[in-house]
Structure formats: structure tokens, C-alpha cells
């Protein structure tokens, strides 16, 4: 049975992996945004190149916790494997239907054809964290564990950002439809910035308290029609 949500795919590690991803992505974004600002460049090529660092940072963080690694060919990108699922973090471009065309390169296409490692599910852990509130029910986990997989499910982490702001971090289980386009299952946001309107609204005195300000109204003499 293929998982239909990131929590179902990542099992008991879902909550800890979510927190790890948010920390890693935010740190990388801050570094890339600062470099963009310092360089005073007119172009976003350098900022957009953070995708490779994102892959390396997340891979390094996951393997640091003992999770397996998988190497995608022909690009040679290393990605982490959690609970028998391949975890790929990706900064989404501004191109229309960018997500649908995620698998447009041979390396990314191979994400969906990666065989599971020999020893999965029992490797890697976050011993300092409590049980994840995102963890699926034991019955669901047992079903996933018992399922015989020839290919690893893919959890795609979507990073939406500009040099001015990290806009959102989302994740979903990704798969290919019959035409080779990517479709997402269980898409959800795992981080988003606080709305600026909240801070603005906090400075505004509510209507249920305080004294209303009466607008100043002045009588203006109106000129009559000209005789000319």
C-alpha cells in the first residue's frame, strides 16, 4: 500500500523530520538571502542555486541521525531515506506548473524508480525527541511495514521563496501519473511566515474601546455660475 500522506510515509519520525526540515531550510534561506543582499546583484541566479545546498544540508542532517543515504544518478545527488521513503527537498521555481514537471530531468525522474535499501525502517532515530504527534496509527504503520515495495515512495519537500522572504515550506507524497507528470498526495504546509497583517492590526485600537476620532468638516462656499 502506497502512503498517501507524508506522516504516513515517514511513520514515527514524521514530527522530528518536519522540525529538522524547517530548521535546515530556514538556515539555508537566510544564508542565501544574505549573500544575495551583500552581492547587490541584479539577478537571482545565485539565490536560486541554493537548491544543491538544500539537498546536501538535509542529507547531512538526516545521515547525522543515522538514516540511510541514496545516490541518484546520473546527477550523483545524495538524498536521505527515512522509514523506507526517499526525501527530496526542492526549491520550487516560478515556472507555471513547475511541480508537475519536477521529473523533467533524468536525475529527478530516478527518484521514482529508486529501490529501497536492504536495511530500512529500523535505521535512524531522534532519541532526544518525544513521540511524533504526526505519527500514523500503529495499524497503519504495520501495514506499511508489511507492504512489499519494489520502489521507495517519494516525499517531496517544496520550498517557496524569494530573496526577500521565505514564503512557505510544504511537503507531500509525490508520484507520477500516466503521462509522466508529478502529482502530489497529502500536500500540507509545515511552515509559513506569520502574516504581516497581524502586526499591523495589533497597533490599531479596536472599535470596542477608546474614543472614536471625529472627522473635521468645514463649510466651503460654493461659487455661483459665471455670467460670462
Q: What is the Cα–Cα distance from 131 to 127, expressed in whole angstroms?
A: 10
What's the whole-model pTM score?
Answer: 0.77
pLDDT in tens, the chain (228 residues): 678 999 999 999 999 999 999 999 999 999 999 999 999 999 888 999 999 999 999 999 999 999 999 999 999 999 999 999 999 999 999 888 999 999 999 999 999 999 988 765 556 777 655 555 555 555 555 445 545 568 999 999 999 999 999 999 999 999 999 999 999 999 999 999 987 544 544 444 444 444 445 555 566 565 555 443
Strands 165-176 and 77-82: unpaired
81, 70 Cβ separation under 8 angstroms: yes
87, 11 Cβ separation under 8 angstroms: no
Torsion, CA 53, CA 58, CA 63, CA 66, rounded to 10:
170
206 is written with which cell numbers?
Answer: 479596536
Between helix 14-39 and helix 50-64 the angle, nearest 10°, is 150
Please, what is the Cα angle at 19 between 14 and 25, to 5 degrees? 120
SS3 169: strand
Amino acid at each position: 500500500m502506497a502512503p498517501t500522506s507524508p506522516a504516513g510515509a515517514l511513520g514515527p519520525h514524521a514530527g522530528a523530520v518536519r522540525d529538522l526540515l524547517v530548521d535546515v531550510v530556514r538556515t539555508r534561506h537566510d544564508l542565501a538571502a544574505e549573500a544575495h543582499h551583500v552581492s547587490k546583484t541584479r539577478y537571482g541566479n545565485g539565490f536560486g542555486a541554493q537548491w544543491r545546498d538544500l539537498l546536501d544540508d538535509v542529507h547531512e542532517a538526516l545521515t547525522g541521525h543515522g538514516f540511510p543515504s541514496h545516490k541518484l544518478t546520473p546527477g550523483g545527488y545524495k538524498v536521505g531515506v527515512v522509514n523506507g521513503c526517499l526525501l527530496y527537498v526542492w526549491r520550487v521555481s516560478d515556472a507555471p506548473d513547475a511541480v508537475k514537471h519536477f521529473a523533467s530531468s533524468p536525475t529527478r525522474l530516478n527518484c521514482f524508480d529508486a529501490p529501497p535499501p536492504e536495511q530500512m525502517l529500523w535505521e535512524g532515530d531522534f532519541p532526544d525527541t518525544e513521540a511524533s504527534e504526526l505519527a500514523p496509527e500503529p495499524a497503519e504503520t504495520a501495514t506499511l511495514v508489511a507492504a512489499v515495495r519494489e520502489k521507495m515512495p517519494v516525499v517531496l519537500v517544496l520550498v517557496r521563496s524569494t530573496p526577500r522572504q521565505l514564503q512557505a515550506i510544504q511537503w507531500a507524497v509525490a508520484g507520477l501519473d500516466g503521462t509522466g507528470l508529478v502529482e502530489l498526495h497529502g500536500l500540507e504546509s509545515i511552515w509559513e511566515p506569520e502574516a504581516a497583517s497581524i502586526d499591523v492590526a495589533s497597533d490599531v485600537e479596536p472599535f470596542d474601546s477608546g474614543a472614536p476620532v471625529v472627522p473635521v468638516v468645514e463649510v466651503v462656499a460654493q461659487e455661483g455660475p459665471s455670467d460670462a
